[in-house]
Structure 1
């Protein structure tokens, strides 16, 4: 594949929130630049979705294609990779109805929340959990959880456990399972 660049590599052509993927937040060789980010074509030399877009309407996001929803999107995917695919259709709807700039604004806020959690409530094994949780929970729910987390009066060794507990509780209240499906 030739070089492929996009304005917002944190939200992919196929609807993944690349900015909330563990590989996007990794240092080293396995780091992914996001969809259409710098040297994307070297990390992902073939991508059937990009090929499809070029063969159809050459859109920035699949939901903009005249063939959407194509067979790939008629049903929610039941498998995940490094990142969850659970909200792809919902996220497309949000981006379409609110506008891509507003959706990217919310996604950027979610990325900042993820980074805050990693910097302040990480015991060394929480990246996948936080990526999944921040990806699946609504921004209002994340703001509420952050407020609760920041009001915690616990010792340092307990703060990560308490933060994870509050996130899991919010997910359970919303009937959201915070696990990748393989």
Structure 2
């Protein structure tokens, strides 16, 4: 969007974790900024003095955020409001450090256990589960000799099941929610 520039590509203006998005991973989107389509929230930021994050605005949360985390786009919006609150509380450098760690875990999952059908699942899982939960899964399979002898497709299924086993009791659905 013309006149709108983002320096932080880990956390968007509106609270999305852009580096955990399949569109970003595939190189189809570099996050919010000049080369992307018009966005009502980016326009609002420009009108409010080019604030970097909506939580910095005195009007936040405004009507633009009504039901914002009810449905997903290419990336989950499930924790969008919670993530902005967290970033506000712990600070952007600490939040970005967590996102960098999550991106490393996502890259690892995709490079080692993606059977060609798990990109969205892994993106949503890494976005919604904690770093510790993902690390525990990876530690579990690393020490499992049976797992190590499986083919990539079987390993992908096991990883998917382990992610679901953590998500379901927490009421988390590891798929994008469409309208």
What is the CA deviation profile of residues 136-157 of structure 1, one whole-angstrom value per residue up to 9, with x for unaligned ones? 1122222222222322322232
Which of 120, 123, 134 aligns to 1:128? It is 120
TM-score by length of 2: 0.90
From 16, 34, 41, the equivalent of 2:31 is: 34
Q: Partner residue of 2:159? A: 163
Structure 1 stretches of 4+ with a deviation exceeding 6 A read none
| TM-score in terms of structure 1 length | 0.89
Residues 20-31 of structure 1 aligned to structure 2 (within 5 Å): 20-27=20-27, 31=28
- Aligned residue pair count: 174
Q: Tell me, what secondary structure is at the counterpart of 2:82?
A: helix
In structure 2, the partner of 1:11 is 11
Task: After TM superposition, give the deviation of residue 84 of structure 1 in Å.
Answer: 0.7
RMSD between aligned residues: 1.5
Looking at structure 1, the residues matched to 141 and 119 of structure 2 have their Cα atoms a distance apart, in angstroms, of 17
Q: Does 1:89 align with 2:86?
A: no
In terms of mean alpha carbon deviation, does 54-63 or 117-126 score higher?
Answer: 54-63
CA–CA separation in structure 1 for the residues paired with 2:70 and 2:172: 14
**Aligned counterpart, 2:111:** 119
The answer to which of 69-78 and 118-127 deviates more is: 69-78
SS in structure 1 opposite 2:38? coil
Q: Which residue, out of 36, 46, 55, partners 1:63?
A: 55
Secondary structure at the counterpart of residue 23 of structure 1: helix
1:10·1:35 contact (CA, 8 Å) conserved in 2?
no
Whole-Å separation in 2 of the counterparts to 1:142 and 1:64:
31
Does structure 1 conserve the Cα–Cα contact (< 8 Å) formed by 2:72 and 2:177? Answer: yes
Higher helix share: 2
